[in-house]
Amino acid sequence: MSANYKITGPDGQSLADLPLVEGTLGPKAVDVRGLYGNSGMFTYDPSFNSTCSCESKITYIDGGEGLLMYRGYPVDQLAKHSSFIEVCYLLLYGELPTAAQLEEFDTAIRYHTMINESLKSFFGGFRYDAHPMAMMAGVVASLSAFYHDTTNINDPEHRNIFARRMIAKIPTIAAAAYKRSVGQPFMYPQNRLDYCSNLLHMLFAVPAEDYEVDPIAAKALDVLFILHADHEQNASTSTVRLAGSTGCNPYAAIAAGITALWGPAHGGANEAVLRMLDQIGDISQADKFIAKAKDKSDPFRLMGFGHRVYKNFDPRATIIREYCHQVLEHLGMENDPKFELALKLEQVALEDDYFKEKKLYPNVDFYSGIIYKALGIPVSMMTPMFAIARTVGWAAHWQEMTADPGNRIGRPRQVYTGSEQRDYVAVEKR
Ligand code: CMC
């Protein structure tokens, strides 16, 4: 805490004398918790433009500089030198693991990948054309019914087992949702495979044939997962925290996060980018659609552009763009018309005054969908891929919040704009 922030009324009278909260990095925050009690006033910030909902030690973003760090480590260094499993450890436990810690963690994740056999029948209950995100949200919420042994949220060991289980099982659940949607048999996880190779195997292998995982595809997926692993208080993580603040079962809180991620303004954007590229068709139409995106009377937006926090390049997009080239080259798809169209849109938008003035740069989802498509991942599975990667972030934030003895239920207030008090009128007199 540092010096106070004073609010004065129109006549110079003191309305509030509020303490400031200072973190390690980033802007100071005015602690308004005492404001209502002292002045009878609320603060108003409907979409959280200027509001911190918590303190956190996990992830830091400087949107102006285009900087993203997990536990202090810049994400570009992690993407270059680390692995998704190591990043999971870092996010959950705060430090990079020793070799022994990494081996123990990696083994634990590999040996928790199976789901209860009866869960398989849940997938069969969905219509054949159900979106995989709908199946994932439902099945993850139902996990609470299977793990009565580890739902004492006040026990650190229970919290730890939950986090490991959740990270290990989410690829199995996502792959089962996919297999259901294409009418293929469910493939069991293979503990000999690393996290991303195992996921590719569960998605694309069939029992009738041998399947060999492409190591370049697995590596590309691993980097994408590192970049998506956490993003501080984004909409889905804040949803997990708010749901979790009630003391609910952690699997239910993660299911809430999955549903929040689904929207096109958030994790659903990678799917929306691919649908948009299909809608635009080819390079010759790029200018027309850029004009539509700028037209306020047209609801069309350039999906994969803009970000609430980044007012500079999204650092994740810079790394993914590079990977996109490598993967497409490896797969002999460097002249892929979708990628060419994406590059053209990027170029036109970056040179356009509208996008420059509003600081709308390509975000992480602009390129991730193209890589996923090149890897053969269908459009409907793109947001589930994001959900798999973000599960560790959700679990880390849930753990941080739940372990905090000062945690209280989250409960925003409102500015009421409805009718004033009035008396009930009997139905025959209305
Ligand atoms: N295309 C055209 N105009 C845009 C776009 C876009 N993609 N994004 C923002 N704008 C305009 C918007 O119309 C507004 O203009 P004005 O000031 O004249 O009203 C201005 O830029 C500010 O936009 P906003 O909607 O107030 O900004 P926001 O912070 O509320 O929304 C956003 C951020 C990401 C939801 C938005 O930029 C958007 O809808 N982008 C497309 C969807 C997308 O790519 N989402 C993925 C985000 S990154 C992955 C993740 O973290 O989940």
Query: Is the distance from the beta carbon of residue 316 to the nearest atom of ligand 1 less than 6 Å?
Result: no
User: For residues 341 and 196, which has the higher predicted lDDT (pLDDT)?
Assistant: 196
Least trusted range by pLDDT, from 27-41, 174-188, 287-301, 319-333: 319-333
Could you tell me the pLDDT band of residue 2, with boundaries at 50, 70 and 90?
Answer: low
Cα–ligand 1 centroid distance for 307 (angstroms)? 6
Query: Is the distance from the beta carbon of residue 295 to the nearest atom of ligand 1 less than 6 Å?
Result: no
> 3-state SS of the chain?
CEEEEEEECCCCCEEEEEEEECCCCCCCEECCCCHHHHHCCCCCCCCCCCCCCCCCCCEEEECCCCEEEECCEEHHHHHHHCCHHHHHHHHHHCCCCCHHHHHHHHHHHHCCCCCCHHHHHHHHCCCCCCCHHHHHHHHHHHHHHCCHHHCCCCCHHHHHHHHHHHHHHHHHHHHHHHHHHHCCCCCCCCCCCCHHHHHHHHHHCCCCCCCCCCHHHHHHHHHHHHHHCCCCCCHHHHHHHHHHCCCCCHHHHHHHHHHHHCCCCCCCHHHHHHHHHHHHCCHHHHHHHHHHHHCCCCCCCCCCECCCCCCCCCHHHHHHHHHHHHHHHHCCCCCCHHHHHHHHHHHHHHHCHHHHHCCCCECHHHHHHHHHHHCCCCHHHHHHHHHHHHHHHHHHHHHHHHHCCCCCCCCCCCCCCCCCCCCCCCHHHC
Catalytically annotated residue among 307, 314, 352, 397:
307
What is the reported pLDDT for 7? 82
Nearest CA to ligand 1 atom 37: 306
What is the reported pLDDT for 267? 93
Q: What is the arithmetic mean of pLDDT over 395-424?
A: 97
* Per-residue pLDDT tens digits for 14-49: 878 899 999 999 999 999 998 998 888 999 999 999
Q: Which atom of ligand 1 is nearest to the CA of 47?
A: 30
Cα–ligand 1 centroid distance for 301 (angstroms)? 8
User: For residues 328 and 158, which has the higher predicted lDDT (pLDDT)?
Assistant: 158
Q: Which atom of ligand 1 is nearest to the CA of 304?
A: 44
Q: Which atom of ligand 1 is nearest to the CA of 266?
A: 52
Is the pLDDT reported for residue 1 higher than 70? Answer: no
Q: What is the arithmetic mean of pLDDT over 351-374?
A: 89
Q: Which atom of ligand 1 is nearest to the CA of 261?
A: 52
Least trusted range by pLDDT, from 87-101, 183-197, 263-277: 263-277
* Per-residue pLDDT tens digits for 142-169: 998 998 887 899 999 999 999 999 999 9
Query: Is the distance from the beta carbon of residue 195 to the nearest atom of ligand 1 less than 6 Å?
Result: no
CA atoms within 13 A on the CB side of 239: 19
Is the pLDDT reported for residue 60 higher than 90? Answer: yes
Query: Is the distance from the beta carbon of residue 234 to the nearest atom of ligand 1 less than 6 Å?
Result: yes
Q: What is the arithmetic mean of pLDDT over 281-304?
A: 92
Q: What is the arithmetic mean of pLDDT over 78-101?
A: 98
Cα–ligand 1 centroid distance for 306 (angstroms)? 5
Is the pLDDT reported for residue 212 higher than 50? Answer: yes
Which of 358, 370, 383, when mutated, tests ligand 1's pocket best, judged by the most ligand atoms within 8 Å of its CB?
Answer: 358
Nearest CA to ligand 1 atom 34: 307
Residue type, 52: C
Query: Is the distance from the beta carbon of residue 356 to the nearest atom of ligand 1 less than 6 Å?
Result: no
Query: Is the distance from the beta carbon of residue 172 to the nearest atom of ligand 1 less than 6 Å?
Result: no
Query: Which residues fall within 8 angstroms of residue 2, CB to CB, at 6 or more apart?
Result: 20, 22, 28
Query: Is the distance from the beta carbon of residue 360 to the nearest atom of ligand 1 less than 6 Å?
Result: yes
Query: Is the distance from the beta carbon of residue 365 to the nearest atom of ligand 1 less than 6 Å?
Result: yes
The yes-or-no answer on residue 307 being catalytic is: yes
Cα–ligand 1 centroid distance for 402 (angstroms)? 32
Round the average pLDDT of the chain to a whole number and report it.
93
Q: Which atom of ligand 1 is nearest to the CA of 267?
A: 52
What is the reported pLDDT for 399? 98
Is the pLDDT reported for residue 13 higher than 50? Answer: yes
Nearest CA to ligand 1 atom 47: 266
Is the pLDDT reported for residue 369 higher than 90? Answer: no
Q: What is the arithmetic mean of pLDDT over 45-65?
A: 95
Cβ distance 149 to 183 under 8 Å?
no
Nearest CA to ligand 1 atom 8: 306
The yes-or-no answer on residue 325 being catalytic is: no
- Which percentage of the chain shows pLDDT scores above 90? 75
